[in-house]
Amino acid sequence: MSLATTLRDRLGLFARLLRLPVPPPEPPVALGVVDGRLAPCPRWPNCVSSFATDRLHGMPPLPGRGGRDATMARLRTILGAEPGAHVVEDRGDYLRAELTTALWRFVDDVELLWDEDAGVVHFRSASRIGRADLGTNRRRMERIVARLAEAAGT
């Protein structure tokens, strides 16, 4: 990360904490699917992913009960019900949403990727700015896991 990017992110964070109107930061260029995988989490504790293997970032993938279409449809509904959620990309096997917090207007990116071979949905949920999120992304994904289980009737 360049010095200019770091400075811009820190100023944006400070402005949000003061509740000043500032535009949201641009999405990271590393979002999306590359070679069947989502981008790795940064070293900071503001991201969780089913591809991560360390305790800080790792979580198991979401179960794909009922196949791709049924599972992804459930996840679209569940994600759409999350506060501040806005789906920005939907390709059937890949879904990306931006979630904006109400109070300070922080933006998190959530990506969901259907894995046909394993019959699961891999995910990545990460904050755009800051180094810590006080567990927000992990709690969000735990909530989505619970709602997906309810919706699938398990």
CATH number for the domain spanning 108: value is: 3.30.310
User: Three-state SS for 109?
Assistant: strand
Q: Kindly report, residue by residue over 11-52, the tens digit of the pLDDT.
A: 665 655 565 555 666 777 789 999 999 999 999 999 999 999
pLDDT at 150: 94
Question: How many domains would you assign to the chain?
Answer: 1
Amino acid code (one letter) for 32: G
Question: Has residue 17 been placed in a domain?
Answer: no
* Higher pLDDT among residues 7 and 101, named by residue: 101
Range of the domain at 113: 40-152
Residue whose C-alpha is closest to residue 46's, from 123, 134, 141: 134
Residue 65 pLDDT exceeds 60: yes
Question: Which of 26, 24, 56, 38 lies closest to 111, judged by CA?
Answer: 38
Predicted pLDDT of residue 20: 56
What is the value of pTM for the model shown?
A: 0.82
To 10 degrees, the CA torsion angle through 1, 141, 103, 2? 0
